């Protein structure tokens, strides 16, 4: 068996690491071998900034205004070193040293000899360590990371001025390195450096499995699966124990073998494949459609009686297609929708960014927790955005388990890329081949996408300037990646960019759209020239403009909101906890920093205090996303997906996220949970003032619903009430009720509510929120402490309350529900828990719109 001598899959091995910094080219590996002091402890995978912080060399880079005090880190040369036990390969053996992620320009020295160099944090590099290994004393591994700036000193290619791209001199587009680290409109400038993915040291005998491919060819009536195995056979000729064999077993979710075979590698062949048949398979589904059933695939590489190597994969049987056929009901338009096992789905999704600027420090449990939180708000698709990372294995494993589809960008964002640099092109090819091979077996993988906003921004800029040149990047997105996918993963759909497709690359007629009319004031991109101009006025950026969006699939849209005040207080100095302070403004990376005001003015008005800023921005984000999602979902199947920008944060800043860096849920988290529920009831106002109730059904079963519609005043007087029932077919969306004009209709002092046992309560206001006569007093609150440390908080409406919410200073506190409306006399009980910790009634307070 491939003997794993030292493996650090997810742990801090081999051995302990130490790091030390020098001026570029100040020392040589030979000098460092002789030993020196001043090394500090680090772990791999891990992060240089955090190691420095733990050693007391820097303040926490996220705290206060420390980001700029840490700017020197990127300009130093970083040496990492570690020792591992004495060893030498025996006969017919080799010892491979594999680096799954070195960030970024690394020279690797083993016992003073140069093992190799790397230039891409997104590719794995494997080396045969045999010739440099020692068997008489511990082996010393030294890795030198060169400052990125030195590698691109002689290069130039302008990046675009489209997003906050603060350090243009980073020339980020020349580095195969996470682009967001150079600063983004939601993140700090803290480019990472170091060992960010596991290092593996493996002793192998005769041959080893290089990779396994699992592809669902057919799903019914019996599933047909293609399994391909590729090996490296490296032993000297002349072994007499017969050919190498791959023993393949497929076990169902209960662990029972349902298919299997043994394949032989004949002659010089290093690849072999077979087809397995599974009768009545348990398919892999997203949660609203079924269970995400996982099978186990075991592959054993055998030689004679010996097992040389083995792989165990969790796999799913499912088909995934991207349907871009003509939408006959909207002439001139094409669908952009995913078919999972042949069923058209509405992608209720989010955009994922790296969970921390310290990319090597994110753990499997961080990913698990954040993705579970996404599944809790009824998300069924996560887009891994192109300015971040190809995520760790744990991330995709969690998506497989939770039934979350993954839209996977290749890691390119908002820039032209140097397709005429041979070394860069070669490096991208290595990365693309590696990542496709690594991720292709995940049942969650729904789409490969070329990049973020490359083609669209290039086209937008060309139209503005009148200079029309091909997009520098086409080599990758139109040729290299499609060719690699054809060879390595022909079953997963590919889309060249996001947004992409149609008469222009943000067209509402075909392909996907980024709606940045709301928030950024981008003109809705017409299908012909001329392009409009940016407009930041309140009317231009109002979230009600989502109603004009007739897109096929909205892969980005969103509104910024501050994190909880308690989160800000953990990271900002107390004397900076005011609106407009330097410490507060440092948290806003989008420019101009008061962009949110145009969105607040018509809805809440402008805040007077930081606390109000938090409440108002969270309210506008929540109401705006609700409005947009309801509109887009009513349009299904013409619109078949919404991916909210953005789900999470990489630091404690002010951003579009639903959940902040300290994992405190914003108001939008709760609003999205309701708007993304598989069965949704929502109101639509037509141009003539008519109101409709729509029911949207994302499940595979027809939904029979009941509904009670009530028109009331804010002090609780019922003007009329109507009860109805109906059916909405599987995966359908339709208007089920329309207001009649012979009874009291829309008026600023009224609210129309709907209640049903099949979907969450909803309501429609008829005037701007800031003008509505909500109850002036707070709801009644009764807090009971339970034996398990949790609290039970009962809230009772005095009048009509909007945006009722409980706050807790402790980031661990979670609420069973929050940020809801409460009608006069209505009672709701909220459970507040903090992972088993004791909460007291003083741990929670009622938030207010007015303070
Ligand atoms: C799009 C994204 C990101 C950006 C976001 C908000 O451009 O792809 O680049 O952070 O909008 O501006």
Asked if the structure places residue 634 within a domain, the reply is: yes
Tell whether ligand 1 has an atom less than 6 A from the beta carbon of residue 460.
no
Q: Does residue 705 belong to any structural domain of this protein?
A: yes
Predicted structure pTM score: 0.97
What are 709's two structure tokens?
Answer: 């519609």
pLDDT at 241 over 90: no
Query: What per-residue confidence (pLDDT) applies to 2?
Result: 37
Looking at the fold, whether 635 and 722 belong to one and the same domain comes out as no
CA 195 to chain centre: 22
Note the pLDDT of residue 463. 84
Determine phi and psi for 391, rounding to 5 degrees: -75, 175
CB of 645 shorter than 6 A to ligand 1 = yes
Query: For the chain, how far is it from start to end, CA to CA, in angstroms?
Result: 66
Query: Quick check: 489 pLDDT over 80?
Result: yes
pLDDT tens digit sequence for 790-826:
999 999 999 999 999 999 988 899 999 999 999 999 9
Closest CA to 433 of 138, 122, 642, 150: 122
Q: Is the pLDDT of residue 583 over 90?
A: yes
Final residue of a structural domain among 657, 676, 695: 676
In this predicted structure, the answer to whether residue 34 has a pLDDT above a threshold of 90 is no
Which of 554, 524, 559 shows the shortest CA–CA distance to 540?
Answer: 524
pLDDT in tens, 696-749: 999 999 999 999 999 999 999 999 999 999 999 999 999 999 997 678 888 999
Alpha-carbon distance values, 246 to 94, 208, 263, 302, 391 (Å): 20, 11, 5, 6, 29
pLDDT at 164: 53
Distance 411 CA to ligand 1 centre (A): 14
Residue 149: strand, helix, or coil: helix
Residue 408 to residue 450: CA distance in whole angstroms: 9
Strand, coil or helix: 54: helix
Query: Do the domain assignments include residue 346?
Result: yes
Residue 651 within a domain: yes
Same domain, 174 and 67: yes
pLDDT interval class at 554 (50, 70, 90): very high
Mean pLDDT score across all residues of the chain: 94
Residue 9 has pLDDT above 50, yes or no: no
- Asked if residue 169 and residue 59 are part of one domain, the reply reads yes
Q: Are residues 554 and 491 in the same domain?
A: yes
pLDDT digits (tens, 9 = 90+) for 431-479: 999 999 999 999 999 999 999 999 999 998 888 888 889 999 999 999 9
| 782, 793 contact by CB (below 8 A) | yes
**Which residues are registered as beta bridge partners of 139?**
84
Burial 768-784 (b: 16+ CB within 10 A, else e): ebeebeebeeebebebe
Percent of the chain with pLDDT over 90: 87
CB atoms within 10 A of CB 203: 21
Looking at 288-302, 512-526, 552-566, which range is the least confident one? Answer: 512-526
Do residues 387 and 476 share a domain?
A: yes
Q: Domain range spanning residue 757?
A: 680-770
In this structure, the answer to whether residues 421 and 497 fall within a common structural domain is yes
Instruction: State how far the Cα of 133 lies from the Cα of 110, in Å rounded to an integer.
Output: 7
Shared-domain flag, residues 15 and 41: yes
Q: Kindly tell me if the per-residue pLDDT of 240 is higher than 70.
A: no
Same domain, 127 and 219: no
For the sheet with 106-110, list strands across it.
40-42, 17-22, 77-84, 139-145, 106-110, 113-118
Q: What pLDDT shows up at residue 417?
A: 96
Q: Where does a domain end: 201, 235, 252?
A: 201
The reported pLDDT for the residue numbered 396 is: 98
Q: Which of 404-408, 532-536, 621-625 has the lowest mean pLDDT?
A: 532-536
Q: How confident is the model at residue 14 (pLDDT cuts 50, 70, 90)?
A: low
At residue 533 the predicted structure's pLDDT band, cuts being 50, 70 and 90, is confident
Q: Is 163 near ligand 1, meaning CB less than 6 Å away?
A: yes
Residue at 320 is within a domain? no
Task: Please report, for the domain that includes residue 67, its CATH number.
Answer: 2.60.120.260
**Given a cut of 80, is residue 266 above it in pLDDT?**
yes
What is the CATH number for 663? 3.20.20.80
Other Cβ atoms closer than 10 A to 266? 9
What's the gap between Cα 762 and its chain centre? 28
Do 618 and 705 have their domain in common? Answer: no
| Together in a domain, 499 and 601 | yes
Q: How many domains does the chain have?
A: 5
Q: Is 512 in the pocket of ligand 1 (CB under 6 A)?
A: no
Residue 31 forms part of a structural domain: yes
From 164, 166, 185, the mutation candidate for ligand 1 (largest count of ligand atoms within 8 A of CB) is 185
- 3-class DSSP state for residue 424? helix
Q: Are residues 764 and 798 in the same domain?
A: no
Same structural domain, 251 and 273: yes
Residue 514 within a domain: yes
In a domain, 637, yes or no: yes
47 touches ligand 1 (CB under 6 Å): no
Instruction: State whether the beta carbon of 551 lies less than 6 angstroms from ligand 1.
Output: no
Q: CATH number, domain at 762?
A: 2.60.40.10
186 C-beta closer than 6 A to ligand 1? yes
Q: Which residue is closest in CA terms to ligand 1's atom 6? A: 185
Mean pLDDT of 132-143: 95
Domain boundary among 621, 649, 676: 676
Residue 240 CA, ligand 1 centroid: distance in Å: 60
């Amino acid at each position: 068996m491939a003997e794993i001598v030292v493996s650090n899959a997810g742990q801090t091995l081999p051995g302990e690491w130490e790091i030390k910094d020098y001026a570029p080219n100040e020392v040589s590996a030979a000098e460092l071998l002789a030993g020196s002091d001043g090394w500090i402890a680090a772990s791999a995978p891990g992060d240089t900034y955090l190691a420095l912080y733990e050693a007391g060399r820097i303040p926490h880079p996220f705290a206060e205004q420390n980001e700029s005090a840490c700017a020197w880190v990127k300009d130093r040369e970083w040496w990492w070193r570690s020792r591992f036990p004495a060893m030498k390969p025996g006969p017919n053996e080799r010892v491979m040293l594999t680096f799954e992620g070195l960030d970024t320009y690394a020279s690797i020295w083993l016992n003073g000899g140069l093992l190799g160099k790397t230039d891409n944090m997104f590719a794995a590099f494997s080396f045969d360590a045999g010739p440099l290994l020692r068997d008489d004393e511990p082996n010393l591994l030294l890795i030198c990371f060169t400052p990125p700036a030195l590698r691109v000193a002689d290069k130039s290619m302008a990046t675009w001025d489209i997003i906050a791209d603060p350090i243009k001199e980073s020339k980020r587009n020349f580095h195969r390195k996470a682009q967001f680290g150079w600063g983004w409109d939601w993140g700090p400038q803290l480019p990472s450096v170091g060992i960010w993915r596991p290092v593996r040291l493996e002793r192998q005998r005769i041959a080893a499995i290089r990779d396994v491919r699992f592809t669902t060819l057919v799903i019914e009536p019996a599933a047909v699966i293609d399994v391909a195995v590729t090996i490296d056979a490296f032993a000297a000729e002349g072994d007499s124990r017969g050919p190498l064999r791959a023993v393949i077993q497929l076990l169902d979710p209960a662990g029972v073998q349902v298919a299997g075979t043994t394949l032989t590698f004949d002659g010089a062949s290093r690849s072999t494949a077979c087809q397995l048949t599974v009768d009545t398979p348990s398919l892999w589904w997203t949660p609203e459609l079924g269970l995400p059933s996982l099978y186990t695939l075991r592959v054993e590489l055998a030689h004679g009686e010996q097992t040389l190597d083995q792989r165990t994969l969790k796999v799913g049987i499912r088909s995934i297609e991207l349907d871009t056929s003509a939408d006959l009901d909207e002439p001139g338009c094409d669908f952009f929708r995913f078919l999972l096992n042949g069923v058209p789905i509405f992608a209720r999704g989010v955009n994922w960014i790296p969970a921390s600027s310290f990319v090597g420090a994110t753990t499997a449990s961080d990913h698990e927790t954040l993705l579970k939180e996404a599944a809790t708000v009824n998300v069924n698709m996560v887009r891994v955005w192109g300015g971040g990372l190809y995520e760790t294995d744990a991330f995709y494993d969690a998506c497989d388990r939770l039934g979350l589809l993954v839209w996977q960008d290749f890691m390119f964002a908002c820039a032209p890329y140097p397709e005429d640099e041979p070394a860069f092109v070669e490096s991208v090819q290595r990365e693309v081949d590696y990542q496709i091979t690594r991720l292709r077996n995940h049942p969650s993988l729904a789409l490969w996408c070329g990049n973020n906003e490359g083609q669209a921004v290039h086209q937008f800029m060309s139209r503005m300037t009148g200079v029309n040149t091909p997009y520098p990047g086409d080599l990758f997105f139109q040729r290299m990646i499609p060719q690699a996918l054809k060879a390595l993963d022909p079953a997963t759909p590919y889309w060249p960019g996001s947004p992409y497709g149609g008469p222009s690359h943000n067209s509402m007629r075909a392909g996907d759209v980024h709606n940045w009319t709301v928030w950024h004031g981008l003109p809705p991109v017409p299908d012909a020239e001329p392009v409009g101009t940016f407009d930041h006025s309140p009317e231009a950026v109002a979230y009600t403009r989502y109603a004009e969006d007739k897109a096929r699939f909205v892969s980005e849209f969103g509104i910024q909101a501050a994190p909880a005040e308690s989160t800000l207080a953990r990271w900002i100095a107390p004397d900076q906890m005011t609106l407009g302070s330097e410490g507060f403004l440092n948290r806003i990376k989008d420019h101009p920093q008061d962009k949110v005001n145009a969105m607040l003015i018509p809805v809440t008005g402008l805040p007077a205090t930081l606390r109000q800023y938090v409440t108002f921005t969270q309210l506008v984000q929540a109401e705006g996303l609700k409005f947009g999602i309801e509109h887009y979902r009513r349009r299904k199947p013409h619109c078949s997906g919404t991916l909210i920008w953005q789900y999470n944060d990489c630091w404690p800043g002010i951003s579009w996220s639903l959940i902040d860096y300290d994992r405190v849920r914003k108001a939008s988290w709760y609003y999205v949970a309701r708007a993304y529920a598989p069965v949704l009831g929502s109101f639509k106002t037509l141009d003539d003032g008519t109101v409709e109730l729509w029911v949207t059904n994302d499940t595979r079963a027809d939904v029979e619903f009941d509904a009670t519609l009530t028109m009331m005043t804010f002090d609780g007087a019922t003007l009329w009430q109507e009860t109805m029932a109906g059916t909405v077919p599987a995966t359908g969306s339709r208007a089920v009720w329309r207001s009649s004009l012979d009874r009291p209709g829309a008026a600023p002092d009224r609210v129309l509510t709907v209640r049903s046992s099949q979907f969450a309560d909803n309501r429609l206001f008829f005037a701007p929120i800031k003008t509505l006569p909500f109850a002036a007093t707070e709801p009644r609150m009764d807090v009971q402490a339970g034996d398990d440390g949790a609290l039970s908080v009962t809230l009772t409406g005095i009048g009509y309350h909007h945006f009722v919410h409980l706050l807790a200073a402790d980031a661990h506190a979670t609420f069973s529900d929050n940020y809801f409306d409460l009608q006069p006399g209505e009672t709701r009980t909220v459970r507040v828990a903090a992972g088993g910790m004791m909460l007291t009634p003083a741990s929670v307070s009622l938030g207010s719109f007015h303070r």
